[in-house]
Amino acid sequence: MVLVMVTEPGMIPLSLSPWIERFAATAVEGGFVTALALVCLVQYLWHLTVVTRFRRDTTTLQQQLADLATEIAKAQHVQAQCERENHLLRDFLAEASIDVALGKLLRQFIPPGGSGFAAFLLSGPPWTIRQSVGISNVGSGELLVDAAILQRLEQAQTVILTGRELAEAALFQAVPPSDRLGVERLFVIRTSPPGELLDGLLVTTTLPVHPGPPAEQQMFAERVLAAVGHHIRRTASHTAQAQELRVTREILELRAVVDAEFRSPQEMAEQFLERLAAVAGFHQASVHLLRPRDAKLSCLARYQSSQIGRAADAWAAADDDLTQVSSGVTHLNHFSGESLTAVVPAPPFAEAVTVPMHCQGRTLGVLSLARQTVQSLGASEIELISWAADFLFDTILKTADRALTEDRARRDALTGLANRHTFDASLEEDLRRTIRTGRECSLILFDLDHFKAVNDRYGHLAGDEALRTVAHLLREKLLRNLRGSDRPLAARYGGEELVVILPGVGLSGALRLAEDFRQQVEQTEIVSEGQAFRLTLSGGVAVAPLHSRSARGLIAAADEALYEAKQSGRNQIVAANQRRHSRTRSSALAETAGAG
């Protein structure tokens, strides 16, 4: 007797083996039908277990993919919102006349040919209509805004009038009857955050067309009005208008910086700080964030002008001291003269400004700027720096969320270091920055000695564990020995080769770090499946622009130095010569193939 169990479509049929067939035949002859039934039942239950597990794993994977797709969609939605907001503000600020700009803005609320009306009011009483759309007769150009509406605006940025409240509002009744026909809702939006001076209002029957629910449309309009109101307050006079338009253009330039793609929040912050220092007239800019573990400030990114020269380390140390003192304040601090020397004895710079970064009422970071000479710190400059602190902190948080997802695609699966593609892109960018700023950039190429022998003797799993251990030691080394603003990058170059980019680090610093790391690897015991062993590595160091100004040339210089270290006995670090070796590594390796 042969019993065959067929599973669901797509699954492999389960058949009794010849041995079980014989057992079944014997059981039937001997009358052991119950035993045979039990065997079949056990086999069927095992089948159910396998199918259930497969379905559960499939469901979990589908849910994870759905969650990832949702997060990506959210990030894309936020990016689209920022791009549209930036586009609208650019159009507004592109106009030399404030009235023309306001007219364009109001057309975003009431398009040409659309029904309803919108008016921009300046502070009263009575409130003055600065610009309007859809109102046929503005009379004296003044409107009375109900006290009840103003009282509500003290707590909220937007008040929505509907039904009886709308019909009885003096503000609505002041609009000509012909323009009120068909209006069922009126939005009154203030141009300043609640709690601040109320000096401008937008009254409109509709909100701009915006993808998303009504709540997002309202928030979009509030952000736009807040930016517009900010601009109008700064342009109260012709002189102030010209000055503040310059500031606004600088803000837009800074906002444009974060529209680019960045590998990390640190890189984004560094680019932002470089641009901020340029437009505000400072020689150094940094951002420090609060460390949760000890409530101390740690430098996330720092930009230093080439004019600082060899005093860069002194500027950075003084900056660190200044930001620690400023971590407990809640407002912008201006340091110069005695106020500066009271915090930093013998400061290398003459003037500094620190601005706290707030989130939900807490100070979580500090933006700091310093320059060589004391200059007049005007209101527009203060406003630009304060805006930069708020905008930068908010952008860092958003960039960090996006970077967590993108970072996974940039990592080598085995070591957790950056992959080859990330390394190539990073080196090109770091060298461009090095040439532009006049600083140095070091490259260290490591290779594990006799790695093939490790695989042959202990197995490939041991080789993998060796790579993971060395990569972990390298990451820890960079974290302990370099400042956060140095932006080092460790990557797996291929096989058993690792590479490190050290922006801002010269030859002596790179050699010192490489030698310390070589000794650490030599002294570290690696354990894999109960087997313990040690290994060594060799390294080659090259520096831009000393050895080369191109990525290809710098890699070749480090590669030749690594080859020299291998040929000289391994387990050592060698610096590249300024004049490149005439013998290339490829030809030399061909001669010594199999040496390991």
pLDDT in tens, 465-487: 999 999 999 988 887 776 544 57
Cα of 247 vs its chain's centroid, Å: 25
How many CB atoms are located within 10 Å of the residue 491 CB?
A: 26
Beta strands in 144-283 (DSSP E): 158-162, 185-190, 200-204
- Helix or strand run (H / E) with residue 57: helix 33-93
User: pLDDT value at position 32?
Assistant: 61
Contacts of 416 (CB under 8 A, 6+ apart): 468, 471, 472, 475
DSSP 254-315: HHHHTTS--SSHHHHHHHHHHHHHHHHT-SEEEEEEE-TTT--EEEEEEEE-GGGGGGHHHH
Q: What's the rounded Cα separation, in Å, for the pair 574 and 566?
A: 9
Q: Tell me the backbone φ, ψ of residue 196, rounded to 5 degrees.
A: -100, 175
Residue type, 209: V
Chain-centre distance for alpha carbon 399: 2
pLDDT tens digits, 279-297 = 889 999 999 888 776 777 8
Q: How many Å apart are CA 481 and CA 500, to the nearest integer? A: 13
User: What would the 3-class secondary structure string for 469-497 be?
Assistant: HHHHHHHHHHHHHCCHHHCCEEEEEECCE
Beta bridge partners, 351, equal: 336, 371
pLDDT for residue 540: 96
C-beta separation of 502 from 483 below 8 A: no
Report which secondary-structure segment, H or E, holds 39: helix 33-93
Pair type for strands 158-162 and 142-143:
unpaired
CA dihedral 183, 185, 188, 194 (to 10 degrees): 180
DSSP string, 422-434: HHHHHHHHHHHHH
Three-class secondary structure of residue 195 per DSSP: coil
Distance of alpha carbon 133 from alpha carbon 141, whole angstroms: 13
Within 8 A by CB and 6+ apart from 422, the residues are 263, 410, 411, 489, 491
C-alpha closest to that of 2 among 12, 10, 13, 17: 17
Alpha-carbon distance 127 to 147, whole Å? 12
Task: List Cα–Cα distances, 396 to 87, 186, 255, 267, 526, in angstroms.
Answer: 21, 36, 12, 10, 38
CA distance between the termini of the chain: 62
pLDDT digit of tens for each residue in the chain (596 aa)?
444 444 444 444 445 456 556 666 666 666 566 666 777 777 888 888 888 888 888 888 888 888 888 888 777 766 766 777 777 777 777 777 778 888 888 888 888 888 899 999 887 667 888 888 888 875 557 778 898 999 999 999 999 999 999 999 998 988 888 888 889 999 999 988 888 888 889 999 998 876 678 888 888 888 888 888 777 776 655 555 566 677 777 777 777 777 776 666 778 888 889 989 988 899 999 998 887 767 778 888 899 998 898 898 899 999 998 988 887 777 888 998 888 998 888 899 999 999 988 777 777 889 999 999 988 787 778 888 888 888 888 877 776 655 555 555 678 888 889 899 889 988 999 999 888 888 899 999 999 999 999 889 999 899 999 999 999 999 888 877 765 445 789 999 988 999 999 998 999 999 999 999 999 999 999 998 888 999 999 999 999 999 999 999 999 999 999 999 999 999 999 999 854 333 333 333 333 333 34
CA distance 45 to 178: 78
The residue length of the chain stands at: 596
Closest CA to 561 of 545, 535, 536, 579: 579
Residue 524, classed as helix, strand or coil, is coil
Report the C-alpha gap between 138 and 131 in whole angstroms.
10
β-pairing verdict for 489-494 and 441-448: unpaired
323 alpha-carbon distance from chain centroid: 22
Report the pLDDT value the prediction gives residue 530, as an integer from 0 to 100.
85
Distance CA 505, CA 67 (A): 41
Question: How much is the pTM?
Answer: 0.37
Q: What separation in angstroms does the CA of 282 have from each of 17, 273, 287, 320?
A: 82, 10, 14, 16
**Measured CA angle at 97 (ends 95, 103), to 5 deg:** 80
Is the C-alpha dihedral spanning 68, 74, 79, 83 positive or negative? positive
Contact 199, 192 (CB under 8 A): yes
333 φ, ψ to 5°?
A: -120, 135
